[in-house]
Structure 1
């Protein structure tokens, strides 16, 4: 599911890339996770869902104190849909 390739810029470095099978697995994981989250919050009104989202983002942002903590706090969301990631935002501020 993962390919190792020499870095074109630094031949000492090795890059890891997902194969098509790896990408498919990531897609399945995201789909199952999204379904589980949808089920967990199904009883919440849209107003309460927004409140939950804001509170969760604030907690994740405040927990991210270092670049290393950002890597451990990361929820591995779907990067194409998670445009305002609080962990990614805080990570950018720390670099």
Structure 2
């Protein structure tokens, strides 16, 4: 509850925007292109063989928007289309240049986030890790929502991902409440 004297929720909202703005700027700069291109490269790196339709769902794009994005990824030399699971689908895979781009994007993201948390003491960083983990235990409803939440994550840095864990083992609702999705 956000009571007049309780600034916690308001500060969390401002922090989310500040982190997102800095992270997005770093990612766009590393990719040399819009944020959706960078996000798509990371998603395909983590889940090779996805379709344009699935990728569009993760990134919140319409079918024409997803098709345009995939076309741009192919033109950049980052993605190649291969035969998919059926005759109508095409599986998306990173090229060597796409893997390099994904690495650059994730390194830029990490530098930005590391700079932000460097302002905190070691105990504060441990607290932030616990708090962030607790807030991220949100039980995504399906694999696409899971991918949407982690679309720019460097999965190698978070082996015990709280989002993935809550997807596999949804938290029990408290006091008869509906599960959070």
Shared fold (TM-score, shorter chain, > 0.5) = yes
User: RMSD of aligned C-alpha atoms?
Assistant: 1.9
Q: Which residue of 2 aligns with 1:84?
A: 160
Structure 2 Cα separation of the partners of residues 50 and 88 of structure 1? 20
Does the 8 A contact of 2:140 with 2:163 survive in 1? no
Shift of 1:93: 3.1
Q: Which structure has the larger Rg? A: 2
The residue number in structure 1 matching 2:100 is 24
> 1:38-77 counterparts in 2 under 5 A?
38-62=114-138, 64-67=139-142, 68-77=144-153
The count of aligned residue pairs is: 91
Provide the TM-score with structure 2 as the length reference.
Answer: 0.45
Deviation at residue 75 of structure 1 after TM alignment: 4.7
Partner-residue secondary structure (3-state), 2:163: helix
TM-score (norm 1): 0.80
Q: Bigger CA drift: 82-91 or 21-30?
A: 82-91
Quick check: which one's strand share is greater? 1
Q: Deviations over 1:10-65 (max 9, x none)?
A: 34342211111111111111111111111111121111111101111111112x34
